[in-house]
C-alpha cells in the first residue's frame, strides 16, 4: 500500500458561524474547538505514517493564511492550488486529482473538508486504513457517521443492512437533508448514516467516474490545470478555462450517479460545526448547568447556553439565559435561541442588504506580512493597529486619497518614504504625505507593532498603488 495523499478543501465562508466566521476569514482558520484552528487540526490528523504531503485547494485571499497555519503546525504541503473563483467541490476535487495523477495515476486520495471536528485522530486514521483495500480495488469510499439524533441539517446515506464499524458496505443511495419526520424514521431504521463529505479513492477511479458522469468538466478543468502558472509557492489554475467549468458539488456531479460506492461507518465522534448549536454540543467542558463558555465570560443562573467572548478586552455577562447563543466580537454581537442557530445566515443576508461591513469583513484583516485592525473610524480619519511579522515587509506603495502618520509602539520599523530609508524605534513616529511612495518593514526578530493614523477624503483599502511587493499580490486591496 502506498501513501495516501490528503486533499484538503479550504474555501467557503461559513456564514452560519457568524460573527466569528466571515467571508474574509472563515471558520476553518479559527480555533473554535480544541488546539489550533480547524484547518490545522485537519492537516495534522491526516499527516504522519501512511500519509503523503497534503494538497490544498483554496482561493487567492486565503493562500498566505494556509501557508502560515501549515508552517505553524510544522506541515509541509505538497501543493497549494489556487482557484480563480469558487466553482463548488466537483471542479476543485477534479483539478487536484488531475494534478496528483500527473505524477502517480494510481495514487490514493483522501478528500476532506478542512472545517470539521474529529476528536479521535487515531480512530479516524484506523477507519481510513480499514477503507483502503476497497479504494485500491476501484471503489469510491465515502465515510458515514453513526447518527445519535434525527438531524435535519445533514444529508444521509442509506445502506442495505445495518452498518458494522471497520467494514465497508455498498451504498444504496444518498438522501437529501430530510424533514424532522423523515430524519426520525431513518434514525429508528438503523441502516442510515450521516454523510460526512469525506471520500477515499484512487486517482484513476475518480477520473474514470468523472469521465462517465461529468464529462463536461474534464475539458475546462483539465485545461485550467495544464495552463496553471507557478506563483511563489502556489499553483494558480488558469482563469479562462476555469470559468467555463460548471459550478456543481461532487455529490451531484459524480457520487449520486456512480455505481461503485462503498460506505465506511464511523462512530468515534464527528461534527461539521455547521452552526452554533453544534459548537455547544461539541464543547466537552460544559458546566454543571450545561453552559459552554469561551473567553471573558460571567454566567449567572444560565442553563444549556453558549457564551463566547472573542476579545480579551470584552467581558460577556449572561443572566438567566436558557438554551441561548451569545457570541460577542469587537464589532458585532449575536444573540439567538439555540433552536434558531440555522437562521444565523438570515442575519448575514440582512447585513449584506444594508452594505454593513460586518456581514463579510472580519475585524482583524490578515495579510502575508501580519495583520491590522481598525481602532477608530470616522469621516476623514481612521486609526489602525498594525502588527508586522519578523522579517516581513509591506509593499512599496502610495495612496491617492490619504496621508498617514505611523507611531511605533513595539519593536523597530525600517521605513521608506520617498528616497529616504530610516529606522524608527518605539515611541518614535514618521509622517507619509499623500501620494508619496513608502514601505514598512520589520528587520527585527519579534513582531513589530505600530499605530497608524490615516487622514483624507477616502480611506478604503483599495486606495493602494503597488510598485514592488515580495508577495507578488498585484494591485487591489489584497492583490
Q: What is the pLDDT of residue 285?
A: 85
**For range 397-419, the mean pLDDT:** 96
Q: What string of DSSP letters covers 328-387? A: EETTEEEEEEGGGGGGHHHHHHHHHHTT-GGGT--SEEEETTEEEEEEEEETTEEEEEEE
Reported as type and span, the H/E element at residue 99 is helix 89-101
Nearest 5°: phi and psi at 472?
Answer: 50, 50
Percent of the chain with pLDDT over 90: 89
**For range 350-357, the mean pLDDT:** 94
Q: What is the pLDDT of residue 456?
A: 94
Grid cell, residue 133, equals 483495500
Cα 335 from Cα 324, distance rounded (Å) = 7
Which among 401, 436, 402, 403 is positioned nearest to 418, based on CA atoms?
436
Cα 276 from Cα 383, distance rounded (Å) = 32
pLDDT of 15 strictly over 90: no
Cβ neighbour number for residue 462 with a 10 Å cutoff: 9
pLDDT of 242 strictly over 90: yes
Q: Which residue is listed with cell 463579510?
A: 360
Poorest-confidence range of 4-18, 158-172, 445-459?
4-18
SS3 of 422, please? strand
Grid cell, residue 196, equals 460526512
Q: What is the pLDDT of residue 248?
A: 96
Q: What is the pLDDT of residue 340?
A: 95
Grid cell, residue 425, equals 524605534
Mean pLDDT of the chain: 94
Percent of the chain with pLDDT over 70: 99
Which among 113, 121, 117 is positioned nearest to 33, based on CA atoms?
117
pLDDT of 12 strictly over 80: no
**For range 442-447, the mean pLDDT:** 96
Q: What is the pLDDT of residue 127?
A: 96
**For range 243-258, the mean pLDDT:** 95
How deeply is 200 buried, as exposed, middle or buried, from its count of CB atoms within 10 A (0-12, 13-18, 19+)?
buried
Q: What is the pLDDT of residue 92?
A: 97
Sign of the torsion angle spanned by Cα atoms 471, 473, 474, 476: negative
* Cβ–Cβ < 8 Å for 430, 417: yes
Grid cell, residue 138, equals 476501484
Q: What is the pLDDT of residue 477?
A: 63
CA angle 98, 104, 110 (to 5 degrees): 70
Q: What is the pLDDT of residue 34?
A: 80
Cα 325 from Cα 56, distance rounded (Å) = 33
pLDDT of 383 strictly over 70: yes
Cα 350 from Cα 344, distance rounded (Å) = 10
What domains sit in the chain, N to C, each tagged with a CATH number? 4-266 (3.90.550.10), 285-345 (no CATH), 364-468 (2.60.120.10)
Poorest-confidence range of 65-79, 443-457, 465-479?
465-479
Q: What is the pLDDT of residue 295?
A: 94
Q: What is the pLDDT of residue 1?
A: 59
Q: What is the pLDDT of residue 221?
A: 98
Q: The whole model's pTM is what?
A: 0.89
pLDDT in tens, 254-297: 999 999 999 999 999 999 999 999 999 999 889 999 999 999 99
Which letter does DSSP use for residue 72 in this model? Answer: H
Beta-bridge partner residues of 306: 292, 325
Whether the upstream peptide bond of residue 19 has omega within 30° of 0, thus cis, is: yes
Reported as a pLDDT band with limits 50, 70 and 90, residue 13 is confident
Q: What is the pLDDT of residue 455?
A: 96
Cβ neighbour number for residue 400 with a 10 Å cutoff: 12
* Cβ–Cβ < 8 Å for 12, 115: yes
Which among 202, 220, 195, 177 is positioned nearest to 90, based on CA atoms?
220
pLDDT of 478 strictly over 80: no
Amino acid at each position: 500500500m502506498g501513501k495516501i495523499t490528503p486533499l484538503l478543501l479550504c474555501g467557503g465562508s461559513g456564514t452560519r458561524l457568524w460573527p466569528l466566521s466571515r467571508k474574509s476569514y472563515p471558520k476553518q482558520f479559527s480555533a473554535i474547538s480544541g488546539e489550533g484552528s480547524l484547518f490545522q487540526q485537519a492537516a495534522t490528523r491526516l499527516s504522519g505514517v501512511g500519509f503523503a504531503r497534503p494538497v490544498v485547494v483554496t482561493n487567492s485571499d486565503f493562500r498566505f493564511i494556509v501557508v502560515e497555519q501549515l508552517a505553524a503546525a510544522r506541515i509541509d504541503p505538497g501543493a497549494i492550488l489556487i482557484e480563480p473563483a469558487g466553482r463548488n467541490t466537483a471542479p476543485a476535487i477534479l483539478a487536484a486529482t488531475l494534478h496528483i495523477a500527473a505524477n502517480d495515476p494510481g495514487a490514493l486520495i483522501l478528500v476532506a473538508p478542512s472545517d470539521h471536528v474529529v476528536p479521535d485522530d487515531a480512530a479516524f486514521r484506523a477507519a481510513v486504513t480499514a477503507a483502503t483495500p476497497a479504494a485500491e480495488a476501484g471503489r469510491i469510499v465515502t465515510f458515514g457517521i453513526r447518527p445519535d439524533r434525527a438531524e435535519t441539517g445533514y444529508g444521509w446515506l442509506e445502506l442495505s443492512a445495518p452498518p458494522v464499524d471497520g467494514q465497508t458496505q455498498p451504498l444504496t443511495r444518498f438522501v437529501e437533508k430530510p424533514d424532522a419526520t423523515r430524519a426520525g424514521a431513518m434514525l429508528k431504521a438503523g441502516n442510515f448514516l450521516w454523510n460526512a463529505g469525506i471520500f477515499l479513492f484512487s486517482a484513476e477511479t475518480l477520473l474514470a467516474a468523472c469521465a462517465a458522469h461529468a464529462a463536461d468538466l474534464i475539458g475546462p478543468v483539465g485545461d485550467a490545470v495544464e495552463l496553471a502558472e507557478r506563483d511563489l509557492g502556489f499553483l494558480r489554475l488558469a482563469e479562462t478555462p476555469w470559468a467555463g467549468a460548471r459550478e456543481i458539488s461532487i455529490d451531484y456531479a459524480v457520487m449520486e450517479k456512480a455505481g461503485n460506492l462503498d460506505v465506511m461507518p464511523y462512530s468515534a465522534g464527528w461534527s461539521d460545526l455547521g452552526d452554533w448549536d453544534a459548537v455547544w454540543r461539541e464543547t466537552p467542558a460544559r458546566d454543571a448547568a450545561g453552559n459552554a463558555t469561551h473567553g471573558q465570560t460571567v454566567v449567572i443562573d444560565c442553563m444549556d447556553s453558549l457564551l463566547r467572548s472573542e476579545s480579551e478586552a470584552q467581558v460577556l455577562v449572561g443572566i438567566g439565559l436558557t438554551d441561548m447563543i451569545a457570541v460577542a466580537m469587537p464589532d458585532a454581537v449575536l444573540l439567538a435561541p439555540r433552536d434558531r442557530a440555522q437562521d444565523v445566515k438570515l442575519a448575514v443576508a440582512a447585513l449584506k442588504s444594508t452594505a454593513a461591513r460586518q456581514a463579510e469583513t472580519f475585524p482583524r484583516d490578515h495579510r502575508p506580512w501580519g495583520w491590522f485592525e481598525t481602532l477608530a473610524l470616522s469621516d476623514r480619519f481612521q486609526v489602525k493597529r498594525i502588527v508586522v511579522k519578523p522579517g516581513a515587509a509591506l509593499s512599496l506603495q502610495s495612496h491617492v486619497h490619504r496621508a498617514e502618520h505611523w507611531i511605533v509602539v513595539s519593536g523597530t520599523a525600517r521605513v521608506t518614504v520617498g528616497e529616504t530609508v530610516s529606522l524608527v524605534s518605539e515611541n518614535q513616529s514618521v509622517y507619509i504625505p499623500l501620494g508619496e511612495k513608502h514601505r514598512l518593514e520589520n528587520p527585527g526578530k519579534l513582531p513589530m507593532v505600530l499605530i497608524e493614523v490615516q487622514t483624507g477624503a477616502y480611506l478604503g483599502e483599495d486606495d493602494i498603488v503597488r510598485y514592488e511587493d515580495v508577495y507578488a499580490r498585484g494591485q487591489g486591496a489584497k492583490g
